[in-house]
Amino acid sequence: MTHIQVPFPEGFLWGASTAAHQIEGNNTNSDWWVKEHSTGTHIQEPSLDACDSYHRWTEDMDLLASLGFTDYRFSVEWARVEPVEGRFSRAELAHYRRMVEGAIARGLRPMVTLHHFTVPQWFEARGGWTADGATELFARYVAACAPVISEGVSHVCTINEPNMIAVMAGQAKRGDIGFPPAGLPTPDDETTEAVIAAHHAAVKEVRAIDAGIQVGWTIANQVYQARPGAEEVTAAYRHPREDVFIEAARGDDWIGVQSYTRTEIGPDGPIPTAGDVERTLTQWEYYPAAVGHALRHTAEVIGPEMPLIVTENGIATADDTRRVAYYTGALNEVASAIEDGLNVQGYLAWSALDNYEWGSFAPTFGLIAVDWETFERTARPSAEWLGSLGRTRQLPRTAG
Ligand code: BGC
């Protein structure tokens, strides 16, 4: 098998990502916890203890560092830091500061996400993102995170996948349960405006904490591909679901690119994946080339200067050899994007651990497997291979 020497630039971020609610467990003051224990949702099982990473984060970081990763993206949980409106928990801020210091001590550069889908239940109860004062409340929380991020954190993500927040808000407003068979629900415009305003306010707060922090946000890229003749339909479909959020990153220090699969669009809209196509455990088409398309599209919308960081990319599978194959294909795409001059500055896999996939533990994205009885962690062969690639830089070449 031929190999390529991957052309990662100096300082390239090489790591894996997680999100607090998906791994910590017992995030009882969050809106999601409440949803998980309500009826009439798509949620199949509650998160409960998740991976118990709230207590076992040192094990997670030890493993990631020993595997060869140099970067770890994790999130701070707003519902823990501000469990009651206006009341900030010094103990929780100290907990996340210990995580930042623990990462640095292990040789992992922390990338800190300040909001990854969950909000405090009190924030949800007062109307969520579109209620009066939401931007100010988020900005105040961001400012309160100063003790966590003011030293040793080079990258901060304000809001993860704002486009998915808008899409889910649209779905909730219409009272729909579940996603359409192809494509994404229509986003709620008011929520789009609100999260963009919240992001811009948060960027200011982060820069006020330390102007040296690189701040950005991370977008869910669905890799919309036009079937012949459907170019305009595709652009119109994509704009409110993706491009408007990429455009809102102008002036940031970097933008996060997150992709897993593609969505094909015909003249009548999104086309469901054909029955004979390989699917992953999330039922998405197995499509490792997604990340290359996502990087190129993002650069096209925002311009060539903006640093791009792949902040999530991966596959839910029970077959770890398919995970290796997926990452091999994906990283070949990243390598060729860099060779073509795209300003790609990092790659963080989703996910470090098997985790709570927003309603179910079944889709296993983890480089590291978790025993749900004992919480024991076991690095999969894909983790050993991917981690070591940071050092060897030897990537098997895939055709095409
Ligand atoms: C989210 C993650 C999620 C992953 C896989 C992204 O949309 O940021 O929280 O687990 O995709 O579904």
Hey, which of 115, 157, 358 would you mutate to test ligand 1's pocket, going by the most ligand atoms within 8 Å of its Cβ? 358
Q: How many angstroms is it from 20 CA to the middle of ligand 1?
A: 12
Q: What is the pLDDT, as a whole number, of residue 399?
A: 66
Between CA 134 and CA 128 the distance in angstroms is: 7
**Stretch 292-301: mean pLDDT, rounded?**
98
CATH number of the domain to which 139 belongs: 3.20.20.80
| Integer Cα distance of 351 and 371 in angstroms | 16
Residue owning the nearest CA to atom 10 of ligand 1:
357
Query: In this predicted structure, what is the pLDDT of residue 38?
Result: 97
Residues with CB under 6 A from ligand 1: 19, 22, 160-161, 164, 220, 258, 312, 350, 357
pLDDT tens per residue, range 366-387 = 999 999 999 999 999 999 999 9
Q: How far is the CA of 184 from the centre of ligand 1 (A)?
A: 14
What was the pLDDT predicted at 6?
86
Distance CA 22, CA 31 (A): 13
pLDDT tens digits along 211-253: 999 999 999 999 999 999 999 999 999 999 999 999 999 999 9
pLDDT tens readout for residues 3-61: 988 889 889 999 999 999 999 999 999 999 999 999 989 999 999 999 999 999 999 99
**Residue with CA closest to ligand 1 atom 1:** 161
What is the pLDDT at residue 294?
99
Closest to 351 measured CA to CA, from 17, 15, 13, 70 = 17
Distance 13 CA to ligand 1 centre (A): 19
Taking alpha carbons only, the member of 336, 335, 285 closest to residue 315 is: 285
pTM for this predicted structure: 0.98
Q: Is 275 exposed, middle or buried (0-12, 13-18, 19+ CB in 10 A)?
A: exposed
Mutate to test the pocket of ligand 1, among 24, 312, 365 (most ligand atoms within 8 A of CB): 312
User: Checking phi first, is residue 271 left (phi over 0); if not, alpha (psi -120 to 50) or beta?
Assistant: beta
Asked whether 107 and 70 are in contact (CB, 8 A), the reply is yes
Q: pLDDT tens for residues 80-99?
A: 999 999 999 999 999 999 99
DSSP 186-228: PPPHHHHHHHHHHHHHHHHHHHHH-TTSEEEEEEEE--EEEPT
Number of domains in the chain: 1
Q: Using a pLDDT cut of 90, give the percent of the chain over it.
A: 92
Q: How confident is the model at residue 390 (pLDDT cuts 50, 70, 90)?
A: confident
Its domain, for residue 115, covers: 2-397
For 298-326, write each residue's pLDDT tens digit: 999 999 999 999 999 999 999 999 999 99
Residues 322-365: tens digit of each pLDDT: 999 999 999 999 999 999 999 999 999 999 999 999 999 999 99
- The alpha carbon of 2 and the centre of ligand 1 are apart by a number of angstroms equal to 32
- pLDDT given for residue 400 in this prediction: 54
Residue that the structure tokens 């990662």 belong to? 8
Antiparallel, parallel or unpaired: β 155-160 and 71-75: unpaired
Ligand 1 centroid–CA 1 distance in Å is: 32
Q: 182 CA to middle of ligand 1, Å?
A: 17
Q: Choose between 398 and 264: higher pLDDT.
A: 264
| Distance (Å) from CA 229 to ligand 1 centroid | 31
Question: What is the atom index within ligand 1 of the atom nearest the CA of 258?
Answer: 6
Ligand 1 atom at minimal distance to the Cα of residue 365: 5
Closest ligand 1 atom to the C-alpha of 160?
A: 8
Nearest CA to ligand 1 atom 9: 19
Q: Atom 3 of ligand 1 has which residue's CA nearest to it?
A: 357
For the cut 80, the answer to whether the pLDDT of residue 110 exceeds it is yes
The pLDDT mean for the chain works out to 97
Split at pLDDT 50, 70, 90, the class of 143 is: very high
